[in-house]
Amino acid sequence: MLNYVLPVVAALYALLNLIKDWKAHQHRWRQVLAFILIAVIGVGTGINNYYGGKAAAKRDKDLRNQISSLRDQISNLVETSSFNAQRDALAQELKGIHEDLRDGFSKLGAAIKPRPVPQAVSPPSVPHVKIVQHPTPAKSDAAPYGLQIIVQPDTQMPAAFRIECDGPIADSDFYIAGVGPMMTVRTTIEPNAYLISIGFPQIGPSTPLVVNLYSRDKIQVTKVDPLPQ
């Protein structure tokens, strides 16, 4: 509000001075010109302050949105880290029990043919890209399993990939770590694959792509292919 009061006060002060010295302007055109100049300065300053205020408000809103987006990213990464830390602690706690059971049934193990345990399949490597996958908390009971995939390149490159899994995908979300607004974003969920393409910005070593996939059953990434731009 102060931005509009000052130009009005300045214009009124100049107008009072003009009235005071009105007789000093002998020619009519000089009087009209002085009045017009004062009006232009006052109105112009008011308009400039109005649009400057709108621009500042927009910058403030954009900054708040970026801060909110970064806060959500940090929260997601912390939740995933805590989730996996709890799983690791539980696995370590159960390790001793497993060892006791294994020792206790060692004689039976010699008589029973062990059944092979399926191992998680690591997706084939993509040139200049490191792919890490681990469980993440689910968002709903409809899709109780979550899988976080981090796609981290060793150089700047477009974020355009087809992520194939060994089971159906129900839901998803994503972000580029440390980055707020994105442009020209396209995503598609196929039965067993997730396609994502981001026009701007590119991903890099310190700004990897983070994709969270949610499913009704446990899934693993089996293949990641770059998409043509």
Output the pLDDT for position 109: 43
The pLDDT of residue 98: 54
CB 183 within 8 A of CB 170: no
Distance (Å, whole) CA 227 – CA 137: 28
CATH domain 129-226 topology: Immunoglobulin-like (2.60.40)
pLDDT > 90 in the chain, percent:
40
- pLDDT band per the 50, 70, 90 thresholds, residue 47: confident
Strand 157-165 relative to strand 171-176, pairing: unpaired
pLDDT digits (tens, 9 = 90+) for 96-112: 545 654 555 454 444 44
Domain ranges of the chain: 2-68, 129-226
Query: What span, in angstroms and rounded, lies between the C-alpha atoms of 106 and 101?
Result: 8
- pLDDT at res. 113: 47
Q: What is the pLDDT of residue 114?
A: 44
Contact between 175 and 69 (Cβ < 8 Å) = yes
Residue from 82, 75, 66, 86 nearest 210 by CA: 75
The whole-angstrom separation of Cα 93 and Cα 14 is 83
pLDDT tens by residue, 141-194: 999 999 999 999 999 999 999 999 999 999 999 999 888 889 999 999 999 999
| Residue 93 pLDDT exceeds 80 | no
DSSP string, 60-126: HHHHHHHHHHHHHHHHHHHHHHHHHHHHHHHHHHHHHHHHHHHHHTHHHHHHSPPPPPPPPPPPPPB
Q: Do 160 and 229 contact (CB within 8 A), yes or no? A: yes
- Which carries the bigger pLDDT value, residue 129 or residue 127? 129
Neighbours of 160 (CB within 10 A): 19
Can you give the pLDDT at residue 124? Answer: 60
Average pLDDT over the chain, rounded to an integer:
76
Q: Give residue 174's pLDDT.
A: 95
Contacts of 164 (CB under 8 A, 6+ apart): 123, 192, 193, 221, 222, 223, 224, 225
Q: Which of 171, 164, 200 is nearest to 185 (CA)?
A: 200
3-state secondary structure of 219: coil
Whether residue 223 is predicted with pLDDT greater than 70 in this model: the reply is yes
What pTM does this model have? 0.60
Q: Report the alpha-carbon distance of residue 52 to residue 40 in Å, rounded.
A: 18
Residue, of 58 and 88, whose pLDDT is higher: 58
What is the pLDDT, as a whole number, of residue 208?
A: 93
